[in-house]
Amino acid sequence: MTDTTAPAPSRPATRRSVRDRLRGRGKLVVGLVIVAAIVLFAIVGPMLTQDPRDSDNPAMLPPQPGHWLGTTSLGYDVLAQLAEGSRGSLLVGVVAGLLAIVLSLIFGVVAGYSRGWTDEGLSLVTNVMLVIPGLPLMIVVSSYLSVRSLLVVALILGATAWPGAAVVLRLQSRSLRNRDYVSAARVAGEKTPRILMVEILPNLLPLLTAQFLFAVVLAILGEAGLSYLGLGPNGSITWGTMLNEAQGGGALTRGAWWWFVPPGLMIALLGCALSLVNFSIDEIVNPKLRSVPAAARSVRRARAAGKDITALDEADERAADTGPAGPDGADAEASVDPDSEKERVQA
């Protein structure tokens, strides 16, 4: 008798593929969800809340229906200010991050690929900017500007946030310059701009993305610091200006936690989310980082099971010391493969 039962339908290939790709990327998923929620709040929030400068509300109201995050000492609705401040802080962070990436591309990638006076000149500027403290420079520049819009503050932050990324990109570009396919492109007569755009930059995209996210986090934190010192954007609302107004209004001494906790929490959430995405990109760029948590868990399980990890390591070291030398006469200790040792610990 033949089995006439129809086989169960298999999952769609696309859904299975997306699920498989996201498996083991919990940090990336959590980070992207939080970032998407904050961006959605910045876009939709100001449309659903009242005017953030409306002072007709009662002052210093705690959270309650109608004012879900309370009001300030001037009667401003904290939820409306938080939504408007999300737009301002995200705008400053994105513009500053883009400017920092453009400058790091010029002073990092171009310097790493070029040689001679071009490399020396661009590297000199990078080294000079690298030794100048960023925060004091931002404070001095902002103090001399009487009118500071969101764009001006973003330009100040972006102009001081690129040297570190430029050093990393310069080293990576110098490594890529000696690859065979880049040398073949030079021999084929391709121009330098085309080699940079077609052969170098595509290999730097994961690194550029990580540097951009890092620059955005630094810019948002820098804007909050400047605004807290009273050097933030004039006439605009950001998370930093909310903290400055809360400090000036005596929110801490008057116990108005609803005034300063929401903007501080938003800064912390966005910084954590972008850091999680940045860490995930680092693991994608460097696959060795993915094996570190698994190796640590294996060591913890071995210790929990009562295994002597130190004894195993000492036995491995004695075996390496007394083992035969390689065919080329090299020391046996130098021939120990760290990856194979990690696999033994995991086993």
Query: What is the average pLDDT value for the chain, to the nearest integer?
Result: 81
Residue 222 tokens, joined: 């820098």
pLDDT at 207 over 90: no
254-292: per-residue pLDDT in tens? 889 999 999 999 999 999 999 899 888 877 777 666 666
pLDDT of residue 324: 41
88-99: per-residue pLDDT in tens? 999 999 999 999
Confidence band of 318 (pLDDT split at 50, 70, 90): low
Cα 157 from Cα 216, distance rounded (Å):
10
How many C-beta atoms surround the C-beta of residue 249 within 10 A? 18
Q: Is the four-CA dihedral 57, 58, 64, 70 of positive or negative sign?
A: positive
3-62: per-residue pLDDT in tens? 445 555 555 555 556 566 666 678 889 999 999 999 999 999 999 999 999 888 899 999
How many C-beta atoms surround the C-beta of residue 51 within 10 A? 13
Q: What fold does the segment set 23-291 form as a domain?
A: MetI-like fold (1.10.3720)
Q: Where are the domains of the chain?
A: 23-291
Residue 15 tokens, joined: 């859904």
Confidence band of 242 (pLDDT split at 50, 70, 90): very high
SS3 305: coil
| pTM (2 d.p.) | 0.76
- Kindly state the DSSP code that residue 319 receives in the 8-state scheme: H
